[in-house]
């Protein structure tokens, strides 16, 4: 028979940041705001834009790493993720610096599409959801984690859209757009707003966009239902405990009254 104490392969839930989803949520919101406001493929030669791009990439990397820690990823894999993010950030920094020094716009723009960040961004909401499924009561951390996982989805698709834009022979939207447009489009897609000012023009791009819309809606339907179910279960359990306590108190009162009546007789 298999051993019941076998150590898990991916998770050990031993991180000091376990369930610190309030911090994850704060960083995720900041990362989305930065990606929506700062063009990572700014024109070469602009030092301020280059520094802003580096700061944004660092913020995204820290956010993803913290999400891994809050979700209880094993130390071994946390270190692997740390090394990958450091390498990616180094490549981004070198690409931007090279673009500033050598005026190589193509190399600078390609440095904004790291596939490694796409992989980590795609894994982040999955590991957060995995951790939340282990919660047996709905706490403030559970709510923060649920919101964090939902907001991590548009970041993952943002990098997915950028990757597809680099792979296609024609731009994702038909014409070249700043990277801020991809985050705007990602947020509009997952919320199913559909303004129509930007639209995917190639089959692969359209598939990615519709996949994000479906993923967002499936997440809301299934995960919100799970949270409501956990909360209802906790509420029902609390009512049963209160009812049991009241019955015990009533029995004790009745026993005390009966004893007093016997003594008086």
**Would you say residue 10 lies in a domain?**
no
**Structural domain tally of the chain?**
1
Neighbours of 140 (CB within 10 A): 9
**Would you say residue 147 lies in a domain?**
yes
**Would you say residue 265 lies in a domain?**
no
41-45, 152-156, 184-188, 217-221 — which is least confidently predicted?
41-45
CB burial readout 81-101, b (16+ within 10 A) else e: beebbeebbeebbebbeebbe
**Would you say residue 233 lies in a domain?**
yes
Q: pLDDT tens digits, residue range 46-55?
A: 778 888 888 9
**Would you say residue 6 lies in a domain?**
no
pLDDT of 16 reads 92
Residue 133 lies in domain: 21-242
29-33, 71-75, 222-226, 256-260 — which is least confidently predicted?
256-260
**Would you say residue 48 lies in a domain?**
yes
Q: pLDDT tens digits, residue range 155-176?
A: 999 999 999 998 888 899 999 9
**Considering the entire predicted model, what is its pTM?**
0.83
Distance CA 71, CA 78 (A): 11
**Would you say residue 61 lies in a domain?**
yes
**Would you say residue 209 lies in a domain?**
yes
């Amino acid at each position: 028979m298999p051993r019941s104490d076998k150590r898990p392969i991916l998770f050990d839930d031993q991180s000091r940041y376990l369930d610190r989803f309030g911090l994850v949520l704060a960083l995720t919101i900041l990362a989305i705001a930065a990606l929506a406001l700062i063009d990572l493929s700014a024109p070469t030669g602009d030092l301020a834009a280059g520094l802003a791009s580096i700061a944004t990439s660092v913020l995204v990397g820290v956010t993803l790493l913290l999400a891994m820690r809050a979700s209880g990823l094993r130390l071994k894999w946390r270190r692997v993720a740390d090394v990958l993010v450091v390498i990616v950030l180094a490549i981004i920094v070198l690409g931007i610096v090279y673009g500033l020094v050598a005026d190589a716009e193509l190399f600078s723009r390609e440095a904004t599409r790291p596939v490694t960040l796409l992989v980590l961004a795609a894994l982040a909401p999955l590991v957060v959801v995995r951790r939340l499924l282990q919660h047996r009561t709905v706490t403030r951390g559970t709510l923060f984690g649920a919101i964090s996982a939902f907001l991590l989805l548009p970041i993952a698709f943002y990098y997915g859209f950028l990757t597809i834009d680099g792979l296609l022979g024609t731009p994702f939207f038909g014409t070249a757009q700043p990277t801020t447009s991809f985050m705007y489009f990602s947020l509009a897609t997952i919320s199913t707003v559909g303004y129509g000012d930007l639209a995917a023009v190639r089959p692969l791009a359209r598939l990615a966009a519709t996949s994000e819309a479906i993923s967002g809606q499936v997440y809301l339907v299934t995960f919100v239902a799970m949270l409501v179910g956990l909360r209802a279960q906790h509420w029902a359990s609390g009512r049963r405990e209160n009812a049991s306590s009241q019955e015990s108190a009533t029995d004790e009162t009745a026993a005390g009254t009966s004893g007093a009546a016997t003594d008086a007789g």
